[in-house]
Amino acid sequence: MTVGELTEWKNVKGLAGMEVAMRFLEDRSWEGLPLGRHPIQGDDIYALIVEMNSRSMGGAQFEAHRKYIDIHYLVDGAETIGFAPTKNLRIARPYEESDDAELYDQPADFQKLSLLPGRFAVFLPGDGHLPGCHLESELRLKKVVIKMHTELLKNK
């Protein structure tokens, strides 16, 4: 997992190869786009513009992906994202290629990241994450989640 302020992304280690995605966020290219999926670079890099109410962590499952890297950028609201390496998690639902996700039971102990507007978090394969949870209370969230195919980082 990599976390940072969007205004400082060029100084954050671990983002080599993700420049197209980070510039899309930085340039605010997503502003004015409707909710849903928007191609940035075909199916290799695309943005999901989503709105949702934050949820309780109680009973929620972690997720991890194999084909795509997730870059979460919070536009409005405040959320907690749980994080744990998948090697420390117990599988609740095996990997399904149709949604590029494996689901995991929530462990007793995991890291909690507070995401506020202007901040981003990057989750690579092997990074179990539990997004969209209450920071202090239920809030309406607006996010841009960029999905970037892992093959784009093979030679970085």
Among the listed residues 128, 119, 150, 153, the one whose alpha carbon sits nearest the alpha carbon of residue 16: 153
Which pLDDT belongs to residue 59? 85
The pTM score is 0.95
Taking the C-alpha atoms of residue 42 and residue 45, their distance in angstroms, rounded to an integer, is 6
Exposed/middle/buried for 150, CB within 10 Å: 0-12, 13-18, 19+? middle
Instruction: Report which residue type is found at 150.
Output: T
| CATH, residue 34 | 2.60.120.370
Which pLDDT belongs to residue 50? 97
3-state helix, strand, coil in the chain (%, to 5): 15, 50, 35
Q: What is the pLDDT of residues 21-71, one digit of tens each?
A: 999 999 998 999 999 999 999 999 999 999 999 999 998 999 999 999 999
Please tell me the total count of domains within the chain. 1
Taking the C-alpha atoms of residue 31 and residue 26, their distance in angstroms, rounded to an integer, is 11
- Asked whether the beta carbons of 106 and 59 are under 8 A apart, the reply is yes
Q: What is the pLDDT of residues 139-154, one digit of tens each?
A: 999 999 999 999 998 7
Range of the domain at 139: 2-153
- Asked whether the beta carbons of 152 and 44 are under 8 A apart, the reply is yes
